[in-house]
């Protein structure tokens, strides 16, 4: 059995990292644990904490059987620390140390950079739980309610993964950072989460699905890049987290798909052909396609900000140091050092959008973002199939990467979703064409009425094609107490 | 050359309407000096001033703003330095700019930057204009060094914003423009904590920054704007500046540029590039002494001591940056010594008036700028000159002063004189805290006493020589040859050796924070700037931003 296959369930914290023998880290984690539970109760899902939720729990790291489903009260969820099994003889795959044995301990010279990478990643995990905490009250079905909580508990577990690394490898500083992860609050003026998109509200279920589709997928890309890390414990940790992340994106992709399905069916039944006849569509109690496009515009642009600046010294440094690689670095066939390579990047030069060839090392954020955009494009194409099947003449489209940006070079200009530059006045006048207006928000909020009857769904969303864990349609995914 | 009229010459003259990087907002007797750097507004192409990073263009505007707030706004009792950008206070000096600049430009830039920082501290200490700093985002390197000039540093405690001096780990250079020295000398940060701070790239945030004395308070975002405004109003309330008086306007400094010459109203520069020499002549006023304080105020920036100080300041900066090959500055004066002494007396009589105080403080700073200029300074005291009182400081600032004894045949002007006044004994101290005379006579206090006893006497060459006030006195027979040989010899030495030698000899006596900053800037930072570990092809500055790690030579020197 390779190192790391055995999972220990005896202690408070399930793990495959030998916590029982590692007194120092076990003590640190046990000290941190009550604070985490307090955080969960204070900032986790509102209500439902006593309810029995049909959740999957990671129980091992064997890809063929890593999780079991059962009813669990969320505060009793087995949050544990699970690293992908160690690959014997793993080498650092890129950067100046390429080919050297992967680090099992933190190299001193990269300690600060590595800690920063872990803290930034770790901060996003509890942040999304906080952002989504009010959604339970308006869930369109027990199925969706369960999915929400599944995402939430796993994001909580991801925090554990990062906290373990901080406490195991970064001494007193790491413990301090672990505490701070519990202290920041999404959207709080005085102690916000680190990244902007994680301080935005998730006001309704359409936003939740868009978030899990777009923003969890950024999380996936970041985890993929960190899974390549020459620091082996980080790589192993991220590799395992990725197995859970797939479900989060599934929730988002199918959630939007089901909304589209419902809207298109309702339009077909009512004989409405014009997708822009918003009033008529809204009279049917479903979500009109133009507002779905606006939500898409919003969440896509917020998520692009998470990839950072177009030209980034930090990204270059992290790559050169062997700490954060590219998407599927192990599948790429170049020299994995990039000292002489260039990469095309869209930049903002004197208020205009131009493509420039820049040193590939400083363009790594954009490279990861381009890989990301390719994936979401494929997802959007699948959504469009639903609309096309209903014979509605409407296509969802990703906005231009310069649209509605707060980070990077395009934050200084306004462009429409097609990338045409707008002056301040034109932007102010047309903003509500591109992004959800308060009227749009109010309409969606009004639709958000809970549906907690077994097997039934709110009128604005279609049922899923198959149940979770192959359960039948009327399965009681949450036993509400 | 054409150093004086070179097409790309750096011009230090600016005004708020031309600012690209700063703006000033006035309310409640407080000036908010807001840094909002235009990334494309750098001095030369080749770098972008991202994240409120700065170059000389940004610092020229800061220098102008600090000066104008003193003269144009007597009602302003406190100044708040802050950033106009949401996510950052300032990332410090622009690294790509440093990477592409010549060594000489880097040194000049750092020196000028530090002079402005000292001017900020001088405003707090002597001018009743207290500087506060509102660090509303990360302040790194030079950004934090700028914050360190303030009397009170506030840091937003949003769990993200930190202060840092990451030069050593990130760039293999020093936070040398006062950063290191102000940490230990001004903020009295414990040296081991300072060591940790200066090697932690990400810096220190919130309460820890307060505990380590890196900032004075950490303020949560919800209380930020209110607390900053409150602290500023409190500081303004403590000021002795007159709230109801009107400031004067610092109009654009007029100067006429001719080939190898630069002419201001009271000052001229004549350059002889083949001799590596610039001759700077300062002249006495064309207008009579004002009859009253009101009349002096009404003259505004035309009032002679202020006009001359502005011209001299501009000329020094101009020559420093645009004419590095002119290594020898000959200092001359022309006019009536009595007029100089009368103006000195006028300033002394009205020294508690805000504007007269500002003028004297400005003269002090200009003379200090001369002291730290890396040029050989030779004062020539000739018939028709007016080395008296404040202008006699030029002779004492010079590395050597030479006086003409007697008269020239055919010249009916009376012999040259040197006249000491009270101004030579207190109001224009050097960076070391001593007057130039006290520094000159550091080893012979009795000479200082004798000089003080000679106040008011128009001393001819023998007497001045006897009192140790001049280096040499030559009569007509020797003057031309001696001067020619001396200047030629001076111009022939290694400029580097001269710079080092002069800087050592000029500042005898006690060290102050100011002398330590300049000394360490000159010695350590400039040494590191020359070393391959920083400036080499594989060094940290050149590789900065590429992601590629520098290759260090690990041998200690
Ligand atoms: Fe996650
Ligand atoms: Fe996720």
Q: Which of residues 270-299 of A touch B (CB under 8 A)?
A: none
Residue A191 near residue A185, CB atoms below 8 Å: yes
Give the DSSP letter of residue B387. Answer: E
> Which chain A residues are within 8 Å of B538, Cβ to Cβ?
none
- As a whole number of angstroms, the distance between CA B517 and CA B111 comes to 10
Which residue in the block uniquely carries the two structure tokens 């009349």? B295
Nearest by Cα to B470 from B412, B403, B417, B407: B403
Does position B188 have pLDDT exceeding 90, yes or no? yes
What pLDDT, on a 0 to 100 scale, did the predictor assign at position B545?
A: 78
**DSSP per position, B25-89:** EEETTEEEEEE---TT--SSSS---GGGEE-HHHHHHHHHHHHHHHHH-TT--EEEEEESSSS-S
Beta-carbon count within 10 A of A175 CB:
17
What's the average model confidence in pLDDT over A9-18?
Answer: 81
Task: Considering only the C-alpha atoms of chain B, give the largest distance between any 2 of them, rounded to a whole number of Å.
Answer: 79
Does B6 have pLDDT greater than 50? no
Which domains occur in chain A, in start order? 23-479 (1.10.620.20)
Residues in B touching A96 (Cβ below 8 Å): 548-549
Chain A interface, mutation test: which of B547, B549, B551, B552, most A Cβ atoms within 10 Å? B547
In this structure, what token pair is assigned to residue B543?
Answer: 């590789």
pLDDT tens digits for A216-247?
999 999 999 999 999 999 999 999 999 899 99
Out of A116, A180, A313, the one facing B547 most closely (by C-beta) is: A313
Q: How far apart are CA B91 and CA B545, in angstroms?
A: 14
Are B202 and A350 in contact (CB < 8 Å)? no
Peptide bond into A384 cis (omega under 30): no
Q: What is the largest CA-CA distance in chain A?
A: 68
Please provide the average confidence, as pLDDT, over all residues in chain B: 94
Instruction: Say how far apart CA B249 and CA B499 lie, in whole Å.
Output: 37
Q: Which two tokens stand for residue B265?
A: 């109203």
pLDDT digits (tens, 9 = 90+) for A405-438: 999 999 989 999 999 999 999 999 999 999 999 9
Residue B8 has what pLDDT? Answer: 74
> CA A23, CA A455: separation in Å to the nearest integer?
48
CA B302/CA A310 separation, integer angstroms: 51
Q: Which two tokens stand for residue A396?
A: 């969802």
| Mean local confidence (pLDDT), A278-302 | 97
Cα–Cα dist A70/A48, whole Å: 16
Hey, are the CB atoms on A362 and B546 less than 8 Å from each other?
yes
| Nearest by CB: A317 against B158, B160, B547 | B547
Strand partners, B262: B257, B269
Whole-number pLDDT of residue A447: 96
Question: Is pLDDT at B10 greater than 70 in this prediction?
Answer: yes
Residue B229: pLDDT band by 50, 70, 90 thresholds?
very high
Nearest-Cα distance to chain A for B5, in Å, is 30
Distance in Å, CA A246 to ligand 2 centroid:
8
pLDDT of residue A299: 97
The full length of chain B comes to 557
> What sign does the dihedral A262-A263-A264-A270 (CA atoms) show?
positive
Residue A155: pLDDT over 70:
yes
Question: B545 and A316 in contact by Cβ < 8 A?
Answer: yes
pLDDT tens digit sequence for A324-357 = 999 999 899 999 999 999 999 999 988 899 999 9
**How many residues can be counted in chain A?**
481
Q: What is the pLDDT of residue A471?
A: 93
| ipTM of this predicted structure | 0.74
Q: For B114-121, what is the mean pLDDT?
A: 96
CA B376/CA B367 separation, integer angstroms: 15
pLDDT greater than 80 at residue A12 = no
Domains B16-237 and B258-505 share a fold: yes
Q: Which residues of B touch A113 (CB under 8 A)?
A: 201
Query: H/E/C letters for each residue in B83-144?
Result: ECCCCCCECEECHHHHHHCCHHHHHHHHHHHHHHHHHHHHHHHHCCCEEEEEECCCEECHHH
CB contact under 8 A, A320 and B158: no
Domain limits, chain B:
16-237, 258-505
pLDDT score of A307 more than 60: yes
CB-based contact B157 A359, cutoff 8 Å: no
Checking if the pLDDT of A3 tops 70, the result is no
Distance CA(B46)–CA(B545), nearest Å, equals 14
Cα B100 to chain centroid, rounded: 24
Are B549 and A362 within 8 A, CB to CB? no
B488-519 pLDDT, tens per residue?
999 899 999 999 999 999 999 899 999 999 88
What CA–CA distance (Å, rounded) separates A284 from A51? 33
The pLDDT of residue B3: 40
Q: What would the pLDDT profile of A27-65 be if each residue is shown by its tens digit?
A: 999 899 999 999 999 999 999 999 999 999 887 887 776
Look up the CATH number of domain B258-505: 3.90.226.10
Best-predicted range by mean pLDDT (A78-87, A181-190, B40-49, B297-306): B297-306
The interface residues of chain A toward chain B in range 213-242, judged by CB-CB distance below 8 A, are: none
Closest C-alpha among B555, B57, B71 to residue B321: B57
Quote the pLDDT of residue B1: 38
Q: Is A350 on the interface with B (CB under 8 A)?
A: yes
pLDDT given at position A6: 75
Contact A190 B157 (CB under 8 A): yes
User: Average pLDDT of B70-81?
Assistant: 98
Query: Is the pLDDT score of A9 beyond 80?
Result: no
CB A326 within 8 A of CB A368: yes
At A267 the pLDDT is 97
What distances in angstroms separate CA A404 from CA A69, A201, A221, one per listed residue? 41, 16, 21
C-alpha to C-alpha distance for B433 and B425, rounded to whole angstroms: 12
Report CA(B311)–ligand 1 centroid distance (Å).
64
Closest CA to A119 of A44, A186, A170: A170
Buried b (16+ CB within 10 A) or exposed e, B176-191: bbbbbbbbebbeebee
Render B394-409 in DSSP notation, one character per residue: HHHHSSEEEEEES--T
Q: CB–CB of A313 and B544 under 8 A? A: yes
What local confidence, expressed as pLDDT, does residue A196 receive? 86
Q: Which two tokens stand for residue B350?
A: 């009205």
At B402, list the tokens: 């030479």
Q: Which of B222, B544, B549 sits opposite A189 (nearest CB)?
A: B222
Alpha helices in B374-435 (DSSP H): 392-397
> Which of A109, A112, A309, A318 to mutate against chain B (most B CBs within 10 Å)?
A112
The CA distance from A125 to the nearest CA of chain B, in Å, is 17
Q: With beta carbons under 8 A apart, name residues in chain B contacting A116.
A: 202
B152-156 and B217-219 beta bridge pairing:
parallel
For residues B73 and B145, is the Cβ–Cβ distance under 8 A? no
Which of B40, B159, B547 has the CB atom closest to A184's CB atom?
Answer: B159
How far is it, in rounded angstroms, from Cα B459 to Cα B451? 11
Size of interface A-B (CB pairs under 8 A): 51
Residues of chain A with C-beta less than 8 angstroms from the C-beta of B159:
180, 183-184, 191-192, 194
- Copy the structure tokens of residue A451: 């549906």
Q: What would the DSSP string read from start to end of A267-334? A: HHHHT---TT-HHHHHHTTS--HHHHHHHHHHHHHHHHHTT--SS-HHHHHHHHTTSS--TTGGG--S
- Ligand 1 mean position, distance from CA A123 (Å): 10
Write out the CATH class of domain B16-237: alpha beta
User: Which residues, other chains included, contact A463 with Cβ-Cβ below 8 Å and sequence gap of 6+?
Assistant: A141, A143, A258, A457, A473
d(CA A353, CA A348): 5
Give yes or no for A116 touching B (CB within 8 A).
Answer: yes
CA distances from B80 to A299, B136, B152, B187, B204 (A): 38, 12, 9, 19, 22
Question: Given this model, what pLDDT does residue B64 score?
Answer: 98
The per-residue pLDDT for range A107-119, each reduced to its tens digit, is 988 999 999 999 9
What average pLDDT does chain A have? 94
Quickly count helices (H) and strands (E) in chain A.
Answer: 13, 7
Least confident range of A160-164, A472-476, B385-389: A472-476
Provide the 3-class DSSP secondary structure of residue A122: helix
């Amino acid at each position: 059995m390779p190192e790391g296959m055995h999972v220990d369930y005896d202690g408070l914290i399930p793990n495959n990292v030998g916590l029982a023998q590692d007194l120092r880290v076990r003590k640190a984690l046990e000290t941190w644990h009550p604070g985490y539970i307090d955080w969960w109760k204070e900032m986790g899902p509102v209500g439902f904490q006593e309810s029995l939720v049909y959740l999957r729990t990671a129980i091992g790291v064997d890809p063929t059987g890593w999780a079991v489903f059962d009813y669990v009260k969320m505060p009793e969820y087995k949050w544990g620390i699970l690293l992908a099994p160690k690959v014997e003889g793993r080498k650092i795959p890129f950067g100046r140390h390429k080919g050297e044995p992967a680090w099992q301990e933190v190299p001193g010279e990269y300690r600060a950079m590595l800690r920063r990478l872990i803290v930034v990643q770790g901060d996003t995990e509890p942040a999304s739980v906080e952002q989504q905490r009010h959604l339970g009250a308006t869930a369109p079905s027990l199925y969706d309610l369960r999915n929400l909580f599944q995402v939430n508990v796993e994001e909580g577990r991801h925090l554990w993964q990062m906290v373990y690394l901080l406490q195991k490898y970064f001494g007193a500083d790491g413990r301090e950072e672990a505490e701070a992860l519990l202290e920041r609050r999404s959207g709080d003026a005085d102690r916000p989460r680190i990244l902007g998109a994680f301080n935005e509200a998730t006001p309704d279920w359409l936003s939740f699905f868009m978030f899990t589709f777009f923003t969890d997928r950024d999380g996936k890309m970041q985890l993929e890049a960190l899974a390549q890390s020459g620091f082996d414990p980080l790589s192993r940790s991220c590799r395992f987290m990725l197995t859970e992340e797939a479900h989060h994106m599934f929730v988002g992709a199918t959630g939007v798909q089901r909304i589209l399905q419902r809207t298109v069916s309702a339009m077909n039944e009512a004989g409405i052909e014009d997708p822009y006849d918003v009033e008529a569509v809204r009279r049917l109690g479903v979500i009109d396609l133009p507002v779905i496009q606006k939500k898409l515009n919003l969440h896509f642009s917020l998520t692009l900000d998470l990839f950072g600046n177009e030209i980034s010294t930090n990204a270059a440094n992290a790559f050169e140091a062997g700490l954060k690689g590219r998407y599927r670095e192990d599948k790429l066939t170049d020299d994995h050092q990039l000292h002489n390579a260039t990469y095309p990047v869209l930049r903002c030069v004197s208020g205009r959008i131009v493509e420039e060839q820049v040193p590939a090392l400083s363009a790594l954020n954009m490279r990861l973002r381009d890989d990301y955009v390719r994936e979401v494009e494929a997802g959007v194409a699948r959504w469009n199939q639903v609309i096309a099947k209903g014979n509605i003449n409407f296509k969802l489209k990703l906005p231009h990467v310069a649209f509605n940006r707060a980070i990077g070079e395009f934050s200084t200009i306004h462009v429409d979703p097609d990338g045409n530059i707008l002056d301040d006045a034109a932007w102010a006048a047309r903003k509500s064409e591109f992004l959800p207006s308060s009227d749009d928000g109010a309409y969606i909020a009004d639709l958000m009425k809970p549906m907690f009857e077994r097997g039934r769904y709110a009128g604005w969303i279609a049922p899923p094609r198959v149940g979770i864990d192959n359960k039948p349609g009327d399965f009681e995914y949450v036993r509400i107490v | 050359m054409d150093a004086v009229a070179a097409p790309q010459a750096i011009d230090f003259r600016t005004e708020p309407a031309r600012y690209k990087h700063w703006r000033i907002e006035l309310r409640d007797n407080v000036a908010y000096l807001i840094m909002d750097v235009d990334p494309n507004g750098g001095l030369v192409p080749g770098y972008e001033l991202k994240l409120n990073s700065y170059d000389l263009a940004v610092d020229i505007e800061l220098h102008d703003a600090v000066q104008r707030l003193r003269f144009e706004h007597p009602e302003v009792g406190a100044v708040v330095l802050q950033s106009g950008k949401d996510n950052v206070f300032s990332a410090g000096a622009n690294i790509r700019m440093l990477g592409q600049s010549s060594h000489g430009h880097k040194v000049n830039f750092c020196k000028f930057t530090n002079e402005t920082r000292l001017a900020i501290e001088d405003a707090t200490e002597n001018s009743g204009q207290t500087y506060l700093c509102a660090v509303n985002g990360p302040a790194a390197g030079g950004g934090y060094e700028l914050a360190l000039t303030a009397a009170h540093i506030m840091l937003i405690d949003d769990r993200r914003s930190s202060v840092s001096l990451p030069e050593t780990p990130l760039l293999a250079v020093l936070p040398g423009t006062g950063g290191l020295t102000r940490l230990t000398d001004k903020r009295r940060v414990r040296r081991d904590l300072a060591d940790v701070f200066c090697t932690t790239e990400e810096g220190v945030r919130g309460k820890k920054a307060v505990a380590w004395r890196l900032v004075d308070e950490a303020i949560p975002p919800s209380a930020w704007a209110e607390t900053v405004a409150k602290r500023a109003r409190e500081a303004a309330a403590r000021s002795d500046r007159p709230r109801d008086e009107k400031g004067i306007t610092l109009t654009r400094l007029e100067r006429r540029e001719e080939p190898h010459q630069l002419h201001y109203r009271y000052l001229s520069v004549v350059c002889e590039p083949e001799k590596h020499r610039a001759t700077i002549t300062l002249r006495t006023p064309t207008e009579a002494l004002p009859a009253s304080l009101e009349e002096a105020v009404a003259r505004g920036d035309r009032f002679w001591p202020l006009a001359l100080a502005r011209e001299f300041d501009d000329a020094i900066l101009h020559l420093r940056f645009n004419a590095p090959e002119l290594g020898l500055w000959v200092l001359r004066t022309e006019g009536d010594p009595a007029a100089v002494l009368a103006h000195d007396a006028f300033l002394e009589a009205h020294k508690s008036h805000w504007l007269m105080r500002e003028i004297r403080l400005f003269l002090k700073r200009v003379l200090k700028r001369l002291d730290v200029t890396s040029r050989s300074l030779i004062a020539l005291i000739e018939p028709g000159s007016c080395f008296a009182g404040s202008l006699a400081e030029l002779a004492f600032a010079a590395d050597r002063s030479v006086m003409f004894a007697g008269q020239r045949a055919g010249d009916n002007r009376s012999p040259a004189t040197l006249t000491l006044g009270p101004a030579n004994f207190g109001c224009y101290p050097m960076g070391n805290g001593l007057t130039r005379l006290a520094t000159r006579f550091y080893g012979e206090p009795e000479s200082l006493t004798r000089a003080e006893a000679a106040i008011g006497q128009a001393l001819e060459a023998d007497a001045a020589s006897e009192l140790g006030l001049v280096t040499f006195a030559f009569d007509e027979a020797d003057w031309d040859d001696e001067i020619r040989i001396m200047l030629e010899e001076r111009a022939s030495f290694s400029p580097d050796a001269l710079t080092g030698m002069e800087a050592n000899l000029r500042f005898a006596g006690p060290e102050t924070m100011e002398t330590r900053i300049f000394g360490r800037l000159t010695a350590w930072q400039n040494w590191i700037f020359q070393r391959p570990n920083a400036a080499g092809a594989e060094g940290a500055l050149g590789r900065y931003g590429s992601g590629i790690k520098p290759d260090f030579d690990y041998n200690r020197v």
